[in-house]
Structure 1
Amino acid sequence: MAVWTVAQTARFLNGIRSHRLYAVYHLIVLRGLETVACSSWLVTTSRPVGR
């Protein structure tokens, strides 16, 4: 597994600043949350409500 540099992480966060889940990605970067936990949470929260 590759680890991003500080510059790569900053470029990623700047590139998605207007994304609706920006705060989640920022939290993942800051807290170093596990990839599996984050990806499953993002999948469940990205589904439209009522479908």
Structure 2
Amino acid sequence: MGASLMEHLRQVEDFRTTDGRRHPLWLVLLFVIMGTMSGYVGYRAWGDES
């Protein structure tokens, strides 16, 4: 059986500096993918929904 999406995302190398690492990169990427699949384009659209 193949690896899950989260397992693949955890293998992505984190390019950010230490100061820019508030959340794990795999989690940020997962939220971006989920937002895009839901039809949101850009980070501002994610925060506009109430």
TM-score range, shorter chain: 0.3 to 0.5
Rg comparison, structure with higher value: 2
The TM-score normalised by the length of structure 1 is 0.35
Instruction: Compare the two structures and name the one with the higher helix fraction.
Output: 1
With CA pairs under 8 Å and 6+ residues apart, which has the higher RCO, 1 or 2?
2
The TM-score, its normalising length taken from structure 2, stands at 0.36
